[in-house]
Amino acid sequence: MDARGRPMRAGRIEGWSGAPIATRVPGLLLVAAVGFGAVVRPAAPFVFVGLLTLYLFVRRAGDRSAGLAAGLAAVLPAAAILVWRSVPQPIADPTGADCTNLLAPPAVWRFFEGAIGLVVVLGLVLDRRATLGEVGLRRGSRGVRAVAFASFLVILPLAMSFASLVGGSAFGGMFFGSYTLDTSQPAALLPALVFAGSNSLAEELAYRGAMRTWLAPGLGIVGANLAQALVFGLSHTGDDFVGLEAVLPTMLAMILVGYVGGVITRRTRSLALPLAIHAAADIPLYFYWACRVA
């Protein structure tokens, strides 16, 4: 069966490849293109426009679910949010006045990122006559929902404690410099949830949802999952770090996290658990951007 639950044609397998190697080349080139946009962020708008133009041309020429069209649909959501990421994130008030502000610049910026990712995925789902469940936008089983909720409750305090702990350490200084987080204001959780929920929705939909699902017919299940994890890792090589030595370990960690998230999504047939874990892990990032004391 392919990624959409349909019988696969003769000669296809469900591992590294769903087709002969010659037919894998377009998918690999598309992954390379969006990966380039992830690393060279000023090029991201040009990559997106090129991919979108090619998609519109291909869809007019034939079946919208054909191999090349599916590959283009797979990478377009990631390319779209990378365009938004090419615009520098606005800075919160350095005095911490934005910490509890629901309209804090970082929270609003991430909200629009999530909106862009969602709109692009919804547009592609409608255009390809697919379903939201196909890209993981389903609640999942009761057990999955329970695990997702429990994971959020467990990971959030651990992530906050870890972020606070490393703020004054040499390890934390290598990544973000020395800082102290103001965690004394519970109301800060509201904009933090907007920030983290929007970011996790955009990235999980783009990578574990669209890219992993729609690349599978051409690259195979494992190949598609590895491809989305690789681009996800490359998208975390921006200029948010103090030291360049932090970029490589962060990228490798994100590749691993992205791959495991893809496996979880496929096994549970839902983004619920990756979304919960991702959001919980991102909440400390909001406190770093808006509630940083020093």
Here the tokens at position 101 are 């502000």
Radius of gyration of the chain (CA): 19
Contact present, 163 and 181 (Cβ < 8 Å): yes
| 55-100 pLDDT tens trace | 999 888 775 556 789 999 999 999 999 999 999 889 999 888 999 9
Q: What pLDDT, on a 0 to 100 scale, did the predictor assign at position 248? A: 84
- Could you tell me if residue 169 is inside a domain? yes
Residue 51 CA to its chain's centroid (Å) = 18
Residue type, 156: L
**All residues at 6 or more sequence positions from 273 whose CB lies less than 8 Å from its CB, including other chains:** 140, 144, 147, 148, 151, 264, 265
Closest by CA to 272, choosing from 214, 200, 199, is 200
Confirm whether 5 is domain-assigned.
no
Tokens found for residue 204 = 């999980």
Q: How many domains does the chain have?
A: 1
- Residue 252 in any domain: the answer is yes
Tokens of 8: 């696969």
- Asked if residue 12 belongs to a domain, the reply is no
The encoded tokens of residue 165 equal: 């702990």
Coil/strand/helix, residue 292: strand
Inside any domain, residue 73: yes
Instruction: Judge whether 158 lies within some domain.
Output: yes
> pLDDT, tens digit, for every residue of 177-196?
677 888 999 999 999 999 99
Question: Which backbone phi and psi does 33 adopt, to 5 degrees?
Answer: -65, -50
Burial tier of 183 (Cβ tally within 10 Å: 0-12, 13-18, 19+): middle
pLDDT of residue 163: 86
- pLDDT tens-digit series, residues 145-182: 999 999 999 999 999 998 888 765 555 555 566 778 88
In angstroms, the CA 140 to CA 51 distance is 32
Instruction: Say if pTM beats, i.e. exceeds, 0.85.
Output: yes
Range of the domain at 148: 21-290
Inside any domain, residue 6: no
Residue 7 covered by a domain? no
Instruction: Kindly state the tokens that stand for 227.
Output: 């491809």
Q: What is the mean pLDDT of the chain?
A: 87
